[in-house]
Structures are given as structure tokens and as C-alpha cells.
Amino acid sequence: MKEEEYLMIDRELMHRNKALFILICAFYSIQVIINIFIEGLESVFPPALLFIVFGSVLILLIHKKIKPKITMYVTISCMYIYFYYLLSDSPYLVNYLFMWLALPLSAIYQSIRVVVLAGIASIILTLYAFFHLHEHIFPNVGREDLVYLVLFAVFIATFIIVAIRKLREANAKLQQLAYHDALTGAANRLQLKDRFDQLKHEHVDSIAALFIDMNDFKEINDTYGHEAGDQLLVNIVSRLDGVLRDTDLLCRLGGDEFVILCADIDHPQLEKLSEQIQSALERPMICNHHVINVSASIGWYHTTEVSHTDLEMLIKEADRAMYRAKGVS
């Protein structure tokens, strides 16, 4: 998996951590209102103190953007620790029912591992409530019925896992359509824009764009046919992927034009990358049983003024450099 994909996953986890925290606060407010209605204002404390402590920890982790995955597991752990304390302090059926909200809430991460852990934690709390708080929470439930409570947790967890798998498959197909070129699988303009905005947000030291235009591509289509031309574009993307860094993004702008977005790179590295691209593309390619030789014109633009740069300007300057290189060649 490329570094840019890890960054996208971390960014998505950050959003989900925030969303789950907001949902937890909303459900906690409902729980407090119910408890006040049943027992009065004094029932809010001391559980509220524990919630404030956990909430402060989560706010700090989210605000400081500590490892999103760590924040995710801390959030799930805090939920179940809080419910354990709540059940011990106020052993009522309504609080036991609130505990079950943690399992579907964990599905917000679309992580099977998190759901399994949440399911195990729900079963452990169920066993604790059943054996230690039986008279308070399950006064009319026979001991032989425990198996149904455990099966309920297993059923809910299994249902959520199946739903996550289906959702992942649908999301993968949608993301492929939304962020990738249908023919070559390279990034499209939308993913290029998202990646550029992400780099500006991360305050990288420099940013650059390489503009690649395949020479005489129309003649190749006319000579060998459009099917061979399509295969050639796929081969070109494969060749380019082989020389790029994990942090670089290859985008097909359209036709035979490509842009490579790079960050934290200097002029000598850009010169070397251009040479590697030329060398990779100049090797003969076999497309539709034809051996085809290609060449490319490459221009690049580099800047350290990242905060004052916009994507269109970056591409336009790289395009101009490409035309200068084409004129020289």
C-alpha cells in the first residue's frame, strides 16, 4: 500500500473518531436525562466525573491528531470501561440496554477487528451483569437463558460484520469509479485535486508537477488501431508506476497526457526522475501483437511556496515547460 493511501486512511479515521465522539456525547446526554427522570439529579454523579475524564482524554487525542488508530481503540475502550462503571454504580436494565449501543457504534469505523473486540466486550459485560447484578437487572430471567443473551451479541456482531463487508465492496467500487481513470487505473483529476489539497494541509516543504505528453500518439492510433492505443496507455501507466516513489501520484489528465504530483523533492531529484521516465518509456512495448516504440516530452515545475500555489497554476507551468522541452527536441 502506498504512503498516500495510508495518509488517506488516517485522515478518514480522524473524521470517524470525531463523528463517534459526537455520537457518544449525544447518547450520553440521553442517558443522563433518563437517569435524572428516574432517580433525580443526584444520579448523574459520580458517573459524570468518569465521563468528563474520558471525554477530556478523547478531545486531547483528537485535537492533537495523535495516531488515529490509537485514538480509535482508546475510544472503544473508554466506552466499555464507562459502561462497566455505570452498571456497577447504577445496575438498572436501562443502563444495560444503553451498553448495547456501543456495539453498533463501533461499526462506524468499518473495521471487522473493532467490531469483534466490541462484541467480546459486550459479552463480558453481559456475563458480569448476569452473574453479579442478576437481581437488579434480570430479576425475572432464569439462569438457563444466559445462552440467548450471548447468542444475541454473536448475532448482532455477525450481522454488523456482514454489513461492513458489503459496504466495503460497494465503497471500493465507488472509489475506483470516482478517483481513477477507467481505462488505465491511474488517478483522475478529482484524486489529483484531493491529493494536492492534502499536501498543502500537511505543510510539505516543496511541491512539483511533471507534465508528460506522448509524442505522435495520434499516428500510433491511426497505424495500429485504437485497441492497440488503449493497451499502450495501460502499459505506459504500468511503466510509470515502476519508477515513481510511494508518495508520488500519477494522474491521467486525458488522451495521452499525464501529470505526476510530487512533494518534498528538489531539482536534482526531478531531473533524475525525468530521465528514469524517459528511459522506462523508450523501451519497446508490445500492444495487440505489435511492437511499438514511443517517446515522451516531459516538463516540470517546482516550488517551495506551497501555501501560495494552486493546482491549476502548477499544471499550467509544467505544461509550458513540457512545450519548451518538445520544441527543443
Q: In whole angstroms, what is the distance from residue 163 CA to residue 170 CA?
A: 11
Helical axes 189-201 vs 311-328, angle rounded to 10°:
110
Pairs from 15-22 (Cβ < 8 Å, separation ≥ 24): 16/72, 16/108, 16/109, 17/58, 17/61, 17/62, 17/68, 17/71, 17/72, 17/75, 18/62, 19/108, 20/75, 20/105, 20/108, 20/109, 21/55, 21/58, 21/59, 21/62, 21/75
Amino acid identity, position 72: M
Write down the number of H helices and E strands in the chain. 13, 6
- Report how far apart, in Å, the C-alpha atoms of 124 and of each of 40, 158, 296 are: 29, 17, 63
Q: In whole angstroms, what is the distance from residue 323 CA to residue 319 CA?
A: 6
Q: In whole angstroms, what is the distance from residue 210 CA to residue 208 CA?
A: 7
Q: What's phi and psi for 297, nearest 5 deg?
A: -105, 130
Strand partners, 251: 187, 259
Annotated catalytic, 256?
yes
CA dihedral sign of residues 119, 121, 123, 129: negative
Cell output for 256: 495521452
- Closest by CA position to 224, among listed 296, 293, 295: 293
| SS3 call for 289 | coil
Question: Of these residues, 256, 264, 266, 310, which one is catalytic?
Answer: 256
- Closest by CA position to 274, among listed 294, 251, 244, 254: 244
Q: Which residues are catalytic?
A: 256
